[in-house]
Structure 1
Amino acid sequence: MTTQDVLDERYGRRRSPARGWLIGAAITVAVALVALFGWWTVQGALDSVDSDTTSFEVDDEHFVTLGFQITAPPGSAVACAIEAQDEEHGVVGWRVVEIPASDLHARAFRETIPTTALATTGFVNSCWVLPS
């Protein structure tokens, strides 16, 4: 007889079999939740698109040429919102550029943004994977 058994007999304690099932069920639910959140995190990272502005050139008061590169999942079509702003950070031009799917992970582009006034900067606002 173990010490725990002696103490249980002396003080009249009994182990409940339901308690073991309850603890097992709680551990199973906790593991399932951790796996689910892990999958959501991995899935979000697989579909993410990273963009960097590499250059911009103010052609005149009607156009800005923007150089940028994207890092996207291979085989996924991507769309990017590109933007031109004036010296007071007002938006003077923007457009959405759709980029077809490619086997390459990283690609570089040059696009022209039509503007309504003289711009002082151009940049990539955001990029996202297009639904298949």
Structure 2
Amino acid sequence: MPSTPPAPGPRPPAGVDPAVMAARYGRPRQGRRGVIVAAVVAALVVVAALVWQTTTAMNRTTLHTEDLGFTVQDATHVTVRFNLVTDPGATVRCTLTALNSKFTEVGFKEVVIGPVKAARTAHEADVTTTEPAVTGSVKSCEVLQP
């Protein structure tokens, strides 16, 4: 009678039927190939995400604003002064706001600037208000795609 070699992996304790152990705890794993494949796939996904993020960041136009100040002209107007820092040639839309003493927005204006010729440019715009304002500033800016 030919003998079969023992199966790889941990052996059940002496006197315990391997079929009972398999039924109770499942069959022992035969290899780690699936774990290795999953790890390689996960590593490739991480590398692809980093490459995509880097490429996107390199193609993004820089944009930054610096509030320089404001002047309340009268009960219905405030002038907002600011610097715009962006890539030369970019066109930007900025939202300017005026607030009252309770920090409620009482004026709003969108201005389109550009294409700018220098990286840093100075701007000012009048914002019409519905009641006297105590401050004016740049709320947000976004680069307009050509």
Q: Same fold (TM over 0.5)?
A: yes
Q: How many pairs are equivalent? A: 119
**Aligned residue type for 1:38:** T
| Greater relative CO, 1 or 2 (CA 8 Å, sep 6+) | 1
Q: TM-score, normalised by structure 1?
A: 0.76
Percent of aligned pairs with the same amino acid: 26
Aligned to 2:103: 89
Q: Residue in 2 aligned with 1:36?
A: 52
Opposite residue 100 of structure 1, the aligned amino acid is: G
Is 1:113 the equivalent of 2:116?
no
Looking at CA atoms only, which structure, 1 or 2, has the larger radius of gyration?
2
Task: Check the 8 A contact 1:55/1:68 in 2, yes or no.
Answer: yes
Cα distance in structure 1, aligned partners of 2:76 and 2:42: 63
Change (3 A) 1:116 1:32: same
Structure 1 outlier segments of 4+, above 4 Å: 23-26
Q: Deviations over 1:16-48 (max 9, x none)?
A: 8x67x83655543332222122223434xx324
Mark the runs of 5 or more structure 2 residues left unpaired by the alignment. 1-7, 10-30
Higher helix share: 1
Give 3-state SS (helix, strand or coil) of 1:75's partner.
Answer: coil
Segments of structure 1 that go 5 or more residues without pairing to the other structure are: 1-11
Q: Output the TM-score relative to the length of structure 2.
A: 0.69
Query: What do you get for the CA RMSD once the two structures are aligned?
Result: 2.6
User: What is the CA-CA distance between 1:131 and the residue it aligns to?
Assistant: 1.8
Question: 2:128 and 2:50 mapped to 1: Cα distance?
Answer: 48
